[in-house]
Amino acid sequence: MTTERATHPCLEDSLLQLRKYKRMAERALEQIGDEDFFWALDDEANSIALVVKHMAGNMRSRWRDFLTTDGEKPDRGRDREFELYPEDTRESLMARWEAGWQLCFDAIEPLSNEDAGRTVTIRGEPHTALEAIHRQLTHYAYHVGQIVLLAKHRAGDTWTSLSIPKGMSERYDVARSGEPYKT
User: In whole angstroms, what is the distance from residue 18 CA to residue 29 CA?
Assistant: 17
pLDDT at 122: 97
Is residue 1 domain-resident? no
Cβ-contact 57, 37 below 8 angstroms? no
The pLDDT of 163-180, averaged and rounded, is: 70
> pTM for the complete prediction?
0.89
pLDDT at 169: 75
What is the extent of the structural domain holding 34?
Answer: 9-182
Provide the residue type at 33 as one letter: G
Is residue 47 domain-resident? yes
Judge whether residue 96 has pLDDT over 50.
yes
pLDDT at 58: 98
Total domains in the fold of the chain: 1
User: In whole angstroms, what is the distance from residue 105 CA to residue 115 CA?
Assistant: 15
Is residue 45 domain-resident? yes
User: In whole angstroms, what is the distance from residue 27 CA to residue 30 CA?
Assistant: 5
Instruction: Decide: residue 32, CB within 10 A, 0-12 exposed, 13-18 middle, 19+ buried.
Output: buried
> Predicted confidence band at 158 (pLDDT cuts at 50, 70, 90)?
very high
Q: CATH number of the domain that 162 lies in? A: 1.20.120.450
Q: Residue 3: which region, alpha, beta or left (left: phi > 0; alpha: psi -120 to 50)?
A: beta
Of 56, 59, 71, the C-alpha closest to 129 is 71
Of 123, 125, 49, 124, the C-alpha closest to 87 is 49
Is residue 80 domain-resident? yes
The pLDDT of 79-107, averaged and rounded, is: 98
Judge whether residue 113 has pLDDT over 80.
yes
User: In whole angstroms, what is the distance from residue 133 CA to residue 137 CA?
Assistant: 6
Percent pLDDT > 70 in the chain is 90
Is residue 3 domain-resident? no
Cβ-contact 87, 43 below 8 angstroms? no
Q: What is the mean pLDDT of the chain?
A: 92
